[in-house]
Amino acid sequence: MIRMDGKEVSAAVKQQIADRVKCMGIKPGLAVIIVGDDPASRIYVNNKKKACEFCGFLSEEYSLAGDTSEQELLELIRQLNDREDIHGILCQLPLPKHIDEKAVISCISPEKDVDAFNDVNVGKIMIGNYSFLPCTPAGVMEMLDYYNIDITGKNAVVIGRSNIVGKPMAMLLLHSNATVTVCHSRTVGLKEICRRADIIVACIGKEKFVTADMVKDGAVVIDVGINRMENGKICGDVDYENVAPKTSYITPVPGGVGPMTIATLMKNTLNACIEQSKAKNK
């Protein structure tokens, strides 16, 4: 069993980006908007800021009060859309209940939508003609590539069908020639389906949901889940202790997929900078 180290892979990706930025005549710019004072969101934003600094990006943070109106937020996004030195815009989710997340995501220019949540970018992912990929699924693919795990022809099971992880994860695996099954809360015979899988990606948001009797010997298990147990510790969607001995490769929580999300955000921002520079110089 090989434990897939997300910190190691993330560091390698960020170093590649930093090296490339040093050779560019332009500095990629990322604007991060946070509304309110959600503690988890604050941690994510701080980590993104550190990653930008390491990669040599221009980083701007817009920390807005929790009672900021939807109109004020949309106006800020429009201003950032118009700035040539800002190549990527990210609005940290979740947003306060009085703000429509769909309206906010739609307002971000598709060319600067480095989260790849805009409908235009979602459609491009479906047909395989994309500029950006959702950060977590793309991070999973980066890890599979780093560890030279062959996906072609493999049976892959994605447990979860969210727009942010489950659905795009399935599409990326499909684009890499896996045979993909998407399972969810209403799937019949889930254990039997999982036992046939060469690759399992768990992104259902349930503590230790994937148990050893759901995993065949030698399977690759990717755990996207982050759950807080009663004792305050963090765990994933996979019962790591009991599942790990059966696997060929497995990601831990924490230290697995998590660090890859920010590394992929940096990659998306770099790509946005390159694409916008090309369009400007045509």
Measured CA distances, 160 to 86, 138, 151, 209, 219 (Å): 33, 16, 19, 11, 18
Residue 123 to residue 240: CA distance in whole angstroms:
34
**Residue positions counted in the chain:** 282
Q: ∠ CA 141-18-147 to the nearest 5 degrees?
A: 25
Under a CB-based contact definition with an 8 Å cutoff, are residues 54 and 19 in contact? no
Q: ∠ CA 135-157-105 to the nearest 5 degrees?
A: 30
Residue 62 to residue 79: CA distance in whole angstroms:
12
Mapped onto helix, strand or coil, the DSSP state of residue 102 is helix
Residue 132 to residue 62: CA distance in whole angstroms:
23
The closest of 58, 48, 55 to 80, measured between CA atoms, is: 58
Within the chain, residue ranges assigned H as helices are 6-22, 39-55, 70-81, 101-107, 119-127, 135-146, 166-175, 190-195, 240-243, 258-280
**What angle separates helix 166-175 from helix 119-127, to the nearest 10 degrees?**
30
Mapped onto helix, strand or coil, the DSSP state of residue 181 is strand
Could you list the active site residues? 48, 92, 115
Residue 164 to residue 162: CA distance in whole angstroms:
5
The alpha carbon of residue 188 and the mean position of all alpha carbons in its chain are separated, in whole angstroms, by 28
